Structure 1
Amino acid sequence: MATDSASACIRQTERFGAHNYQPLPVVIASGQGAWVLDVEGRRYLDCLAAYSALNFGHRHPALVAAAHAQLDRLTLTSRAFHNDRLGEFMERLATLAGTQMVLPMNTGAEAVESAIKVARTWGYRVKGVPTDRARIIVAANNFHGRTTTIVGFSSDPGARDGFGPFTPGFDTVLYGDAEALAAAITPETVAVLIEPIQGEAGVILPPEGYLAQVRRLTAEHGVLFIADEIQSGLGRTGATFECDNAGVRPDLYLLGKALGGGIVPVSAVVGESSVLGVLRPGEHGSTFGGNPLAAAVGIAVVDLLETGEYQSRARELGAVLGRRLEELVGAGVQSVRVRGMWAGVDIDPDLATGHRVCELLAERGVLAKETHGSTIRLAPPLVITAEEIDWAIDQLREVLAELS
């Protein structure tokens, strides 16, 4: 697949870069909307959207304009000083979430790590848990990032093995099992940290009513409900947050990826002041967290979400995506799971691996990525059209037919 020019880029990357990724041999040089071009000018429909970081597509005009305007003024101050964009960003984001306070960071993993610190200190200072005894409940098959603390409570050997020793204080229960969650809560439990939809696990949807049960149990036991909406939030599933679809509000939202509009890394912990307010000056921070460039882009992202247009598009186009994928069940696909514009597609393992299917899709001009063997994930930008979705699924159907 790779041409001479692409091969040179790949060789350079492999020669000088750590081998912690195994990307498809596609070298992207430019993009607009739902489409990208490789170094040879070949066009691809991006059906991964950088794992939902590009919810609004490549180089959305409003987001690019916001970044350009801020680049001409100010990019970084550190939090040693105030800047004139951060306050507006935090107010607008808190309002969008219907809550009170924002802790700005950069990456999704930083947001998760920040929430862990907040939950623990909240447990000591508010709930009264004895010092260094706080525990946090997590779900099996979770994915919250790649730091050593986070992989320490992963059940994925590929993420965990070889990186210990790990941070203690985490208890794992089966995802979607409210009874197991209830049994795991103790007086020392300070939080339940879960993905409303498990993305890396294969876009795993919880049983109906599960998130409401999590909210009820955490409220009854005086435990924080932390929802990792880094992939599921900001329009991806047909609502501003997946928790909105379930009719629940967590104590803390963890946001990232699309919050930076695909331009700069922006993440945040968003929640009530009674929780985030436990932090004191000097106890947590980030040199780049809340920088004016990130804040300017974040404001523009909130502008797009406030209209409801992208949430509506995800619902309407998600129905098209789900209908077309269901047509493939029994024809090389074992099962599909769809919420808004996010799908997990289980390929018949006797037919091919997910990686092989993604290679063949790329040859046909469609970019997707596998996870856990024979499952592929589809998360197109929300600016994609119904016709483009149809074309992409037609390519998948042809690939499966070739493999049969």
Structure 2
Amino acid sequence: MRIAFVFALLLSISLASELPLAEECDPDICTLPQCLCSSTAIPGNLAASRIPQFVLLTFNGAVTSTNTLTYRRLLSGRRNSNQCPIGTTFFVSHEYTDYQLLNELYNNGFEIALHSITNTNQSYFANADYETLMLEFDDQKKLISHFASIPVDQLKGIRMPFLQLAGNTSFEMMKDASILYDNSWPTINFKSPPLWPYTLDFASIQDCVTPPCPTASLPGSWVVPMVAWTDLQGNPCAMADSCFYPPDSYDENGWFRFLVKNFENHYLSNRAPFPIHLQEGYFRERPGFEAAFIRFLNMINSMSDVFMVNTLEAIEWIQNPVSAGEYIAQSCRHVVEERCRPSFCPSLIAPHKEENFYMSICNTCPATYPWLGNPFGL
């Protein structure tokens, strides 16, 4: 009897603490630049033919000496047709990341975003509470800023590991950690025409592929939906490197056609940002893909109304939508380079596994390997 009473009490407390469901979005109330309903409609009611087509190239995982060679080979020196440097977003996990190379990527004008400290299993993030997510992401902001010499206020985005959402909790954490946007939520139902980024002030129309999905009103939080690609058999894939039926690894022409077809699903419809979400290892395993990818980048970098930008830049345009002509007339973004004071730190004791780590950083060496609850390795 006593156990039943305690259970009922805990249940009532849990239900009472749940946030109320968000209401259906009213576009007369939800207005830019702070609020935008989830929709396939073009922000600002502009015609598709008049707006810039943004391409969002993102990479997941640790930044290492191996994959940085690929990033340099593919991206260094590239410019859009307006002669502004291209943008790319790196969602970085902590373990094995070289923070000197992360500083290099930032100084080259690329956006650095968060992918958690532990990058552990999927169920861990599905059930993570607010305190856990603050340790994973707010602590990671401090860690990256300290060891890669990147201003903490430049770390504006997250991608949950395994694209595993945590319901309302991660968005509550984002607000308190001054994180602007999430880029973890796939959509299959809204790919033709594709879904635009939006805020969570009101209820989302987006399909819930990896529950739990947010249900509450969470003002100020932006969702950049991961609009699915379509593989050769018509199946959806949230990331470009997760398609079940892709072209053959050595078929450069097949890969090029595949890239163009998925791009045209955006460019020839409502021009919602076209996502290219990848793991760097995909290039090393598929030489035909890399050759086709370079051809594809050369093509879009020469198009007068197509621009590779980082995720934050796309949100900034959505907050103040202008025509392609007006966008071209704007100044290029300017990154103030952050000086790296290099240190190489061998044999750091890790608190989470029986392994000694080394760190390549832009600061003095920590006493132990930085981890949850101890982002500075004190």
Shared topology, TM-score over 0.5? no
TM-score, normalised to structure 1's length? 0.26
Q: Give the structure with the larger helix fraction.
A: 1
* TM-score, structure 2 as length reference: 0.27
